[in-house]
Amino acid sequence: MADPNLGEVAASVWEQKIGTKPNDNIYESHALFHFLGEEGFREEADGGRLIEFPLEYVINSTFKSYSELETLDTSRITVFDAARYDWKINAGTVVYSELERLRAQVSSGKFDLIAAKLENGRTAHVDAMNNQAWSDGTGNSSKDLGGVQLIIATTPTTGTVGSINRANFSFWRNQQASGAKTSTAFDNLRATMRSVYNLCSRGGVEETPMAWITTRTVFEGYEGLLVANERFTSKGSGEGAFKNDVLLFKGAKGSYDEDAPSGNLYFFNNKALKFVYLKGGWMKMYPKVDPSNQLANVHKVATFGNLGSGNARRLGAVTAIT
């Protein structure tokens, strides 16, 4: 793509500028990655060949009532296993010439081209991972993250997640229900959200969904239902409450993401869904490298990790929303 105007150095050195940082005209907001990074979803691992989530999936059936002196059941019950996920690599480079660096030297308070390039690289890194985090992991020859569309499926009775076949194990299926309208737009949305939220909660009071994310169209449709029913409150955690410009549903923070799949809404729980990364491998900015045959400067940025779940039934999707 051709430079829209004078080019990077000209824009940073020779022109009068408003502010010391460039205005972002490219990237979308990253609601999913915000929750993955900031709400306890992100978890560091010390190492290991695979990402493993220990699973407790069978009830110990030896616990029951007995008569006096009846022989206790000493059957050995296997109650634990593990879901296993591959490590994935996301990376990129920030490159600028030595001439570019020298020409872009600035005094304090002015636009710093090199710092802006590094920040742009970091933003591009997040943008790529946010997009992949919504995927099913099959992109780019299956090198992409195994994302939401893999872990929280619209058809949870099929597919393999964490090396476990959902068709064979009902405990490994996320919650799912259709939010298709009956007669008017979004007329079934709130009822279906309540149903899926409650299914994800499994009767509990602690391990309830913490966040929900959807498309802007669905988000505004839900918001419109609250307007029509005057269910706004400025504080609290009830259905329809607002806090810090985030729409809450039963206490779960709601937002929309430009990368979210059309017509779907997802409930997340940070005990059931994690972005696991290797120690020292979270958005790591490597020291500058000087190629031996070029007057250039190269910075590498990389993240080593993947999404994974150890409790699929705590996650849910409202699908086919109209």
How many distinct structural domains can be found in the chain? 1
pLDDT at 173 over 90: yes
Mean predicted lDDT score pLDDT of the chain: 85
Question: Which residues pair with residue 254 across a beta bridge?
Answer: 212, 247
In a domain? residue 3: no
Give the 3-state secondary structure percentages of the chain, helix then strand then coil, rounded to 5.
25, 25, 50
Token digits of residue 267? 């409930």
pLDDT at 17 over 60: no
Token digits of residue 135? 């995927």
Quickly count: other Cβ atoms within 10 Å of residue 248's Cβ.
Answer: 20
For residue 294, give every residue at least 6 positions away whose Cβ sits within 8 Å of its Cβ, in sequence order, or none.
Answer: 97
In a domain? residue 169: yes
Instruction: Write the pLDDT tens digit of every residue in 218-242.
Output: 999 998 888 655 444 444 455 655 4
In a domain? residue 84: yes
31: left (phi over 0), alpha (psi -120 to 50) or beta: alpha
In a domain? residue 27: no
pLDDT at 55 over 60: yes
Token digits of residue 297? 């400067």
pLDDT of residue 229: 53
| CB contact at 8 A, 152 and 317 | yes
In a domain? residue 177: yes
Calpha distance 224→229 (Å, rounded): 9
pLDDT of residue 22: 54
CATH, residue 158: 3.90.1690
In a domain? residue 4: no
Instruction: Write the pLDDT tens digit of every residue in 115-148.
Output: 888 999 999 999 999 999 999 999 999 999 999 9
Calpha distance 18→284 (Å, rounded): 30
Calpha distance 310→82 (Å, rounded): 8
Domain containing 233: what range?
37-59+79-319
In a domain? residue 19: no
Kind plus residue range of the DSSP H or E element containing 274: strand 273-278
Quickly count: other Cβ atoms within 10 Å of residue 289's Cβ.
Answer: 13
Task: Using CA atoms of 305, 311, 314, 319 in order, give the dihedral in degrees to the nearest 10.
Answer: 70
In a domain? residue 166: yes
DSSP 8-state assignment for residue 292: T
Token digits of residue 5? 């105007």
The pTM for the full model equals 0.83
Distances in Å between the Cα of 303 and the Cα atoms of 38, 121, 150, 275, 300 are: 16, 13, 20, 11, 10
Instruction: Write the pLDDT tens digit of every residue in 291-301.
Output: 989 999 999 99
